């Protein structure tokens, strides 16, 4: 394995956590999952975005930093690599969509201070799915505060992610996840495992699931 820190990213409902669980189980890796349910501002944000966007994003950034900073100080002798279902830069990308301009400038200053202290992943797996697929997955997992997320919001998040990946020279496995079923179709998971056997150069590399 060429990668010791793998991060999985994608839009809301793309299947990040499911794939992270499966890969961690396969590799016996340490698993870092976003604790979104602990954010008290999340349900309030979907009801009133203008009022709760800034505390929402600050809380997420603090919690993500708290989790990821342990990678710097903790060495697990039995698990020599880590899988996470979020990229710390996610803080900045969601903030760019959710915050007002003056709030975003302040948030970005805080982000830049924190981000330079963290370890960056060896490779990013980005799950790309159309908004219609995302909405289907969101309905299926049935979190009550997510059920009214508009298509436009998901599209804006999607565009922000893809623009960031294209503008930054991040080693990325860009996966077409329109028909992904990592739990029900063994070939889909195996395609990811096979792809991770390759030593990629910097930049984007594309994978279509069988």
pLDDT digits (tens, 9 = 90+) for 161-206: 999 999 988 999 999 999 999 999 999 999 999 999 999 999 999 9
**Structural domain total, the chain:** 1
Q: 3-class SS at 208? A: strand
pLDDT digits (tens, 9 = 90+) for 44-91: 999 999 999 999 999 999 999 999 988 766 655 455 789 999 999 999
Range of the domain at 134: 5-208
Q: Looking at residue 35, which CATH number applies to its domain? A: 3.40.50.300
What is the mean predicted confidence (pLDDT) over 91-103?
97
Please list the active-site residues: 85
Question: Cα torsion for 6, 12, 18, 19, to the nearest 10°?
Answer: -30
Q: Are 87 and 5 in contact (CB under 8 A)?
A: no
Q: Please, which pLDDT band fits residue 2 given cuts at 50, 70 and 90?
A: confident
Strand intervals (E) in the chain? 5-10, 30-32, 82-84, 123-128, 172-176, 204-208
């Amino acid at each position: 394995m060429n990668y010791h820190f793998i991060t999985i990213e994608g839009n809301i409902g793309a299947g990040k956590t499911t794939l992270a669980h499966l890969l961690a189980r396969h590799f016996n890796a340490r698993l870092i999952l976003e604790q979104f349910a602990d954010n008290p501002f999340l349900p309030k944000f979907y009801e009133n975005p203008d009022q709760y966007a800034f505390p929402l994003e600050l809380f997420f950034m603090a919690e993500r930093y708290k989790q990821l900073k342990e990678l710097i100080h903790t060495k697990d002798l039995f698990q020599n690599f880590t899988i996470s279902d979020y990229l710390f830069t996610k803080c900045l990308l969601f903030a760019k969509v959710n915050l007002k301009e003056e709030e975003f400038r302040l948030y970005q200053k805080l982000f830049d201070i924190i981000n330079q202290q963290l370890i960056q992943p060896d490779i990013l797996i980005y799950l790309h799915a159309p908004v219609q697929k995302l909405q289907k997955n969101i309905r299926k997992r049935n979190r009550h505060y997510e059920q009214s997320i508009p298509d436009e919001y998901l599209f804006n998040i999607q565009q922000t992610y893809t623009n960031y990946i294209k503008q930054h020279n991040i080693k990325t496995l860009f996966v077409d996840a329109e028909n992904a079923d990592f739990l029900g179709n063994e070939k889909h998971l195996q395609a990811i495992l096979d792809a991770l056997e390759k030593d990629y150069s910097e930049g984007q590399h594309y994978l279509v699931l069988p």
